[in-house]
Structure 1
């Protein structure tokens, strides 16, 4: 016996096709138009000069006239140049000492400003003033203080060790540079730490106080773990900034006495623009760029792993 299979009537309406979903990943053309001017300016005034500097690092160019291609000769010479090696050692010394000091001082001041004291808002503005001042102008003021005011004050007080300028002795000139660098850079770090401290819930302090935690214990177990991300930001930015220290040295010592306080940036400027070593110092700048990138990435990864551990 045959069984008739039901058939779909022709008059049954077919399901309407679903409208196509709009492509959310497509960026409107207007965005590219707005970004284009900034991209062109960045490419012309940054990318092209960087590429030209990399090219000149493989030449013996004095900064003018014809130049010959010398390959990796400049890079090899950097590792046997005593002046270059001293500049790197001095720069790393300044960067390490200043990075530690500026973060310790900035965090201590931020903790004080975050506590219940009077005129907190006014003090925050006062502490931020060094960040908006021109380094060269402030540097010349500090130079006058180190060369004239401080020795005169020390002589009147009978302190023989400070009766002469710090900047005239190679063993103490770096101290003056660190003082100026830390004084100027602490302002920005203070603002970052204050922003971090304001994200810590007050309930944590109240709970730890009930448990009998001392202020130092609260800082170790509550405050610092909660602001670890801000600490990482300040450490990375501070090290990068101090590795490129330039204006402070120009204003205080100009690299002297002799070449004892020359940083890498000062050496690149003097040798490349004043000493006819444009190609050689271009190689130095490329090497310095690679070192800064490697140190910054390494520091960032190490500190970020510590954030997870705390």
Structure 2
């Protein structure tokens, strides 16, 4: 064994051990407990697939899945539209381009919980004040207390927070496009929109795929954005799957039941991610 291979070996082993101990073992334990009636403490016994069967008849879990997927799909679409538009604008030859890139990235480095409470104040006091001044009955009261509109506040906050990272990825993709292509297209009479459709978007297709997959995965796991805004309310109107798993598993004594829910949710996320990759990568080939 050469010195280089030994060095590589000793660099990989510690990381592998840490990952196995703090990630793989807990995951396997969780899968094991999902087949029991373990409450998180005390004795337990095997119940087979009863936990998984009960999930499909649980109305609260069904509602959380519906809310989570509606929120995740809408937020993913909005984030990628906004991020791509901002990235194209920042990639253009404008003044203070570097400073603007830093400003647009700020939401990604700020604490979600801290900023969430600021958004809570805005939606609870600032927006109702403006709504009352404009004579809007809908927005003259806090939308966070409205079962039909509370989810909009979470979407606005989540999109504002996530757009920053997506912008950085799109900017990285735009940097790979040779400027000669745009110069040639301009000479041929292609306008800005045609250049975007024929040059920009096809050449950053891989970055679009990455952003779509990461955005959907992150939004399906939404948790931090909900706590400071609605805490899952009003009632259970804005409870995400992650929030239900946390409350039921760690606060409600349904550890094994919610672990089964977590295992099922993991399978769903993997399935959706693979489906996304398959569809979007086909589009890359066509582009």
State TM-score, norm by structure 2. Answer: 0.97
CA distance in 2, matches of 1:141, 1:67: 43
Alignment pair present for 1:28 and 2:15: no
CA distance in 2, matches of 1:105, 1:68: 50
Structure 1, gaps ≥5 residues long: 1-22
Shift of 1:206: 1.5
- The match for 1:111 among 60, 82, 88 is 88
Confirm whether residue 72 of structure 1 aligns to residue 49 of structure 2: yes
Instruction: Answer yes or no: is 1:250 the counterpart of 2:224.
Output: no
Superposition deviation, residue 282 in structure 1: 0.2
Write the distance in 1 (CA, Å) between the matches of 2:15 and 2:195. 46
Q: Measure, in 1, the Cα distance between the counterparts of 2:42 and 2:68.
A: 32
- CA shift, 1:27, in A, is 7.2
Q: Which residue of 2 aligns with 1:270?
A: 247
Runs of at least 4 residues off by over 6 Å:
none
One of 134, 151, 161 as aligned partner of 1:184: 161
Deviation at 1:159, TM superposition (A): 2.5
Deviations 1:30-78 (A, max 9, x none): 2221222211111111111101100110011111111111000000111
1:233 equivalent to 2:232? Answer: no
Aligned to 1:7: none
Q: CA RMSD in A?
A: 1.4
Structure 1 CA distance for aligned equivalents of residues 18 and 186 of structure 2: 55
Deviations 1:60-118 (A, max 9, x none): 11111111110000001111111111111110001000000000000000111011111
For 1:177-227, what per-residue CA distance to the aligned partner results, in whole angstroms no more than 9, with x for missing partners?
000100000000001111111111111111211221121111111110011
Trace 1:41-190 onto structure 2 (pairs within 5 A): 41-190=18-167
Which protein is bigger by CA-based radius of gyration? Answer: 1
Deviation at 1:160, TM superposition (A): 2.3
Question: How much does 1:271 deviate?
Answer: 0.5
SS of alignment partner, residue 170 of structure 1: coil
- Which residue pairs with 1:296 in the alignment? 273
Give the Å deviation of 1:163: 0.5
**How far, CA to CA, are the matches of 2:25 and 2:209 in structure 1?**
32
User: 2:23 aligns to what SS in structure 1?
Assistant: helix
Instruction: Give deviations 1:133-181, integer Å, cap 9, x for gaps.
Output: 1111111110111011111122123232210111111111110000010
Q: Distance in 2 between matches of 1:46 and 1:179?
A: 32
Give distance in 2, aligned partners of 1:34 and 1:226: 36
TM-score (norm 1): 0.90
SS of equivalent to 1:60: coil
Unaligned 5+ segments in structure 2 are none
Q: 1:251-273 CA distances to partner (integer Å, 9 max, x unpaired)?
A: 11111111111000000001001
For 1:203, the equivalent position in structure 2 comes to: 180
Distance 2:257 2:216 in 1: 25
* Richer in helix (by share): 2
Secondary structure of 2:119's partner? helix
